[in-house]
Amino acid sequence: MRRSNEILLAGVAAMAAFGQVAHQHHAPGSAEEYVRVLEDPQRDAWQKPHEVVMALGLKPTEAVADIGAGSGYFTRRFAMHAGKVYAVDIDAKLLEAAMKDAPKNVEAVLATPDDPKLPAASVDTIFFCDVLHHIDGRAAYYPKLAKALKPGGRIVAIEFYKKPLPLGPPESMKISEEELIGEMKAAGFRKTKSFDFLPYQYFMVFERANM
């Protein structure tokens, strides 16, 4: 049973950005299959979604963009605390799943792999969970995020540690903490906060460096 659980968790992590990018390793056979994997209750044990949302300290007036929303795993949780949530994904079927019975403060955004398609100055928090390492051309992608942020906005990134782990993508695909901090610095952002309660992932918050 333990081995079966490890295989399942590895599949979840490997597919975590399925809706955000055109290419994928170990992609599921269908959007329905992917939703079942992402929503498996076993994921909660290591993803700690409640703790993640609480750490962000979302305000009732805040607008959040969940980029690579997939099944809406985090989108639904954000909607309970924020004023507005954009569920951003490039897969229309996954967006349909995310929007099923979604709260009224959730809006679907059909994006492209190189553009989140968010309105200018529309969000306070841009959130990524196991998605950034799948985005090609991140240097060109970050300025589009900057345009979508309101003054004082932030980018939140959760990624698997770049080291051997019992689950997650191949080590060659991962972004190290140092790499991400460097990329964000080049894009005009600085790390302002980090959390270490996730067992397999780092959790960082970035804001504009000139603030």
39 in helix, strand or coil?
Answer: coil
State residue 66 phi and psi, 5-degree precision.
-95, 95
**What pLDDT is recorded for position 43?**
92
**What pLDDT is recorded for position 64?**
98
pTM of the predicted protein model? 0.85
Which pLDDT tens digits describe the chain residue by residue (211 residues)? 333 333 334 344 434 433 333 323 344 556 677 677 777 788 999 999 999 999 999 999 999 999 999 999 999 999 999 999 999 998 899 999 999 989 999 999 999 999 999 999 999 999 999 999 989 999 999 999 999 999 999 999 999 999 999 988 999 999 999 999 999 999 999 999 999 999 999 999 999 998 6
**What pLDDT is recorded for position 29?**
59
- What order of strands is seen across the sheet that includes strand 84-89? 106-110, 84-89, 63-67, 123-129, 149-160, 201-208, 189-195
**What pLDDT is recorded for position 55?**
98
Angle between helices 31-38 and 2-14 (to 10 degrees): 120
CB neighbours (10 Å) of residue 11? 17
Distance of alpha carbon 174 from alpha carbon 122, whole angstroms: 29
What are the distances in angstroms from CA 27 to CA 7, 12, 109, 122?
Answer: 14, 10, 22, 31
Distance of alpha carbon 125 from alpha carbon 205, whole angstroms: 10
Domains of the chain listed by start with CATH number: 2-208 (3.40.50.150)
**What pLDDT is recorded for position 35?**
75
Distance of alpha carbon 105 from alpha carbon 122, whole angstroms: 14
Instruction: Decide: 111 and 90 in contact? Cβ < 8 Å.
Output: yes
